[in-house]
């Protein structure tokens, strides 16, 4: 779905704004084709171009169960994307997935801030009660970023993924909206 914001969601140097076609840049293409950036995600690098990103952005915008944000940093502009997906009004939950493609800004708190902003948006504006994330066990940076944003590990899905040809555990992280767990 496309959401309208009165103003960007902002925390320190990190902003989230609804993604648009103009974000489908060569820079974004380079992230998707960078094996180092996508190695802990479900993205298969290679074969991306601007046209494919246009189609992908349009498909997410047309999905009533998704909200798609561009992540911007004060110093580097568009540095990645965050998707709130699988939104279930019935169960009051959704999943969060993000990718910061600009390696130069990794480890500066932008991932954590983006997760915090999207989590707050999902609780306040989408009235969800639970947010989830699935993380390859070896993706320490992602696990720490979610933990710093208040997520806890709910489960470990044994041998849930194949990573570099080997079975790999996937951590299931979650955060509840205040007292709405019960
Ligand atoms: C994983 C990712 C979202 C993390 O975002 P980030 O902006 O680099 O992380 P942050 O700077 O917010 O890190 C949050 C915390 O994790 C720590 N951290 C980050 N990377 C780390 C690493 N590789 N090892 C240990 N700690 C790490 C930071 O020091 C920080 O700790 P602090 O709060 O004590 O300072 C980002 O690197 C990314 O998008 N990577 C590529 C795609 C990907 O893996 N997406 C997630 C799929 S689940």
Q: Is residue 34 part of a domain?
A: yes
Among 84-88, 107-111, 177-181, the range scoring the smallest mean pLDDT is: 177-181
Residue 65 near residue 85 (C-beta atoms within 8 A): yes
The two tokens of residue 83 are: 């998707």
User: What are the tens digits of pLDDT across the range 135-150?
Assistant: 999 999 999 999 999 9
Q: Is residue 86 part of a domain?
A: yes
Q: Is residue 172 part of a domain?
A: no
Question: CA-CA distance, 93 to 102, in Å (whole number)?
Answer: 29
Residue range of the domain that includes 58: 9-129
Task: Output the pLDDT for position 14.
Answer: 98
With a Cβ cut-off of 6 Å, ligand 1 is lined by 37, 40-41, 80, 98-100, 106-112, 135, 139-142, 144-145, 148
Q: Is residue 52 part of a domain?
A: yes
The two tokens of residue 99 are: 């990718």
**CATH number for position 43:** 3.40.630.30
Which residues are within 8 A (CB) of 4 and not within 5 positions of it... i.e. 6 or more apart? 18
Q: Is 73 helix (H, G, I), strand (E, B) or coil?
A: strand
pLDDT at 179 over 70: no
Task: Output the pLDDT for position 181.
Answer: 65
pLDDT at 96 over 60: yes
Mean pLDDT (the chain, rounded): 96
Counting the structural domains of the chain, the total is 1
Residue nearest to atom 35 of ligand 1 (CA): 109
Share of the chain above pLDDT 70, in %: 98
Residue range 14-28: mean pLDDT, rounded: 97
Q: Is residue 139 part of a domain?
A: no
Q: Is residue 141 part of a domain?
A: no
Residue range 49-54: mean pLDDT, rounded: 97
């Amino acid at each position: 779905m496309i959401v309208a914001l009165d103003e960007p969601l902002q925390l320190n140097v990190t902003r989230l704004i609804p993604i648009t076609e103009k974000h489908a840049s060569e820079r974004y293409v380079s992230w998707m084709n960078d094996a180092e950036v996508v190695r802990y995600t479900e993205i298969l690098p290679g074969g991306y171009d601007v046209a494919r990103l246009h189609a992908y952005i349009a498909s997410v915008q047309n999905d009533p169960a998704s909200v798609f944000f561009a992540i911007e940093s004060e110093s580097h502009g568009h540095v990645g994307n965050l998707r709130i997906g699988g939104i279930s009004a019935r169960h009051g939950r959704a999943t969060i997935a993000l990718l910061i493609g600009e390696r130069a800004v990794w480890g500066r708190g932008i991932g954590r801030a983006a997760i915090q902003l999207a989590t707050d948006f999902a609780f306040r504006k989408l009235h969800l009660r639970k947010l989830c994330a699935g993380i390859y066990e070896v993706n320490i940076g992602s696990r720490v970023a979610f933990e710093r944003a208040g997520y806890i590990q709910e489960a470990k899905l044994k041998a849930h993924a194949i990573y570099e040809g080997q079975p790999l555990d996937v951590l299931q992280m979650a955060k509840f909206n205040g007292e709405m767990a019960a």
